[in-house]
Amino acid sequence: MTFEAVAVRAREAAHELALATRATKDAALHAMAGALVAATDDVLAANAGDVAAAREAGTSESLVDRLRLDAGRVAAMADGLREVAALPDPVGEVVRGSTLANGLELRQVRVPFGVVGIIYEARPNVTADAAGICLKSGNAVLLRGSSSARRSNEAVVGVLRDAAAGAGLPADVVQLVPGEGHESAKALMRARGLVDVLIPRGGAGLIRSVVEESTVPVIETGVGNCHVYVDRDADLDMALAIVLNAKTDRPSVCNAAESLLVHAAVADAFVPRVVRALQEAGVTVHGDATFAAQDGVLPATEDDHRTEYLSLDLSASVVPDLAAAVRHIRTYSSGHTEAIVTGSLDAARRFTAAVDSAAVVVNASTRFTDGGEFGFGAEIGISTQKLHARGPMGLPEMTSTKYVVTGDGHVR
């Protein structure tokens, strides 16, 4: 099937899905979950084919691990679908409403986008996650996964489509984009008018290329060069715990800290202590002159300030004051999450007002910027753009709105 044919089928399915009740959508999500568990053997057999091919192609073990499914991971995909079923339906929510002076009744109501495209990398569990979130928010989805996960994605999507159809929804609410490689991604990116929104999930390179090539509106997600700033009025024990947690709890994710800034007034007391603790936790520190005076600290380059390491590395600098910390962040941050540790209300107010990132955190780890932590229940990604949605995106962020205006013959 051509991409256009697939996209037209998605549009038709979206028209029907937009009118489906919550009860129908939740029943479909439960049917999908049950069907995935029942099909565990088939899914794992398909996945074994992907894993073998990846090994043969010399793929690194860490990538192979991302690709690999087991019964537990399949069960987790099913649980994820059931959790989405338990969340409120955003579609139909009245966001705003009033009766105008002339008696016209105005309501702004949440509606699905229509057709959503998702471009993502190796993890096949994203296939079920994204399909579940799109279905619940009333959107037909076109999934373009990694070709290394093709067999796994085909198996999962086949199960989900059959279950959707069994629950009374069009199977075409979930489809894989046909073809492989950059051409299939390009078809999605150029499908303005056929696809309403495109969401890339993956590394910085993938996201940049989608943002630059797409004529379909894009929601940029997930690149996080997150900073922790330790203010002169910080509780240094608290600061140490937050820096360690933000850097080492899970270094490969976007809300991990990549840069540390320390107010000059507490540098003598804090720098040796934090460097030792970080090194004991296995972190390599890339520091400015003050930090580099400590044993084992590498000198930081301009590149270090810009880098989202996603590893046990951290760039670190001493700044003369809060204003300099803000300037550093404005220069190097990707606008994901920045934290300040301070006991000063004035410093907290100034930092949260002046730092313009999706999340600004006071006296807590950057790791809290997450749909699950925020109580959104399911998350399609963390938007680092300013248009439409910013920060963790739950179900309401997967909708648009329309105005419904009711009169009794009103003319101007």
- Applying CB under 8 A, the residues found at the interface with its own copies are 15, 18-19, 98, 100-101, 104, 106, 108, 111, 113-114, 192, 196-197, 211-212, 215, 217-219, 235, 238, 241-242, 244-246, 249, 330, 348, 352-354, 356-365, 367-369, 373-375, 385-388, 390-391, 400-412
Q: What type of residue is 407?
A: G
Minimal distance, residue 360 CB to its own copies, in Å: 5
Minimal distance, residue 390 CB to its own copies, in Å: 5
Minimal distance, residue 150 CB to its own copies, in Å: 30
Residue 249, SS3?
coil
Q: Which is nearer to its own copies, 67 or 185 (CB)?
A: 185
Helix ranges (H only) for 112-266 are 125-136, 150-166, 181-189, 204-213, 236-248
Minimal distance, residue 324 CB to its own copies, in Å: 14
CB 169 within 8 A of CB 17: yes
How many CA atoms are closer than 13 Å to the CA of 39, on its beta-carbon side?
23
Q: Which is nearer to its own copies, 288 or 379 (CB)?
A: 379
Q: What is the DSSP string of 71-108?
A: HHHHHHHHHHHHHHHHSPP-TT-EEEEEE-TTS-EEEE
H/E segment holding residue 15 = helix 3-18
CA pair distance 221, 215, nearest whole angstrom: 17
CB 282 within 8 A of CB 309: no
Q: Which is nearer to its own copies, 124 or 335 (CB)?
A: 335
Q: Which is nearer to its own copies, 55 or 192 (CB)?
A: 192
Minimal distance, residue 389 CB to its own copies, in Å: 8
Minimal distance, residue 114 CB to its own copies, in Å: 7
Q: Which is nearer to its own copies, 50 or 196 (CB)?
A: 196
Q: Which is nearer to its own copies, 152 or 383 (CB)?
A: 383
Minimal distance, residue 369 CB to its own copies, in Å: 7
Maximum Cα–Cα distance across the chain? 80
Q: What is the sign, positive or negative, of the torsion defined by CA atoms of 199, 202, 208, 213?
A: negative
Q: Which is nearer to its own copies, 269 or 323 (CB)?
A: 323
User: Nearest-CA neighbor of 217 among 385, 15, 24?
Assistant: 385
> Which residues, including other chains, have CB under 8 Å from residue 355's CB and lie 6 or more apart?
326, 329, 330, 333, 338
Beta bridge partners of 299: 287
Q: What is the DSSP string of 138-182?
A: T-EEEEE--GGGHHHHHHHHHHHHHHHHHTTS-GGGEEEPSS-HH
Minimal distance, residue 386 CB to its own copies, in Å: 4
Q: Which is nearer to its own copies, 136 or 336 (CB)?
A: 336
Q: Which is nearer to its own copies, 99 or 311 (CB)?
A: 99
Minimal distance, residue 163 CB to its own copies, in Å: 25
Instruction: Give how far Cα 248 sits from Cα of 12, 277, 310, 312, Å.
Output: 46, 11, 10, 7
Minimal distance, residue 252 CB to its own copies, in Å: 14
Q: Which is nearer to its own copies, 2 or 406 (CB)?
A: 406
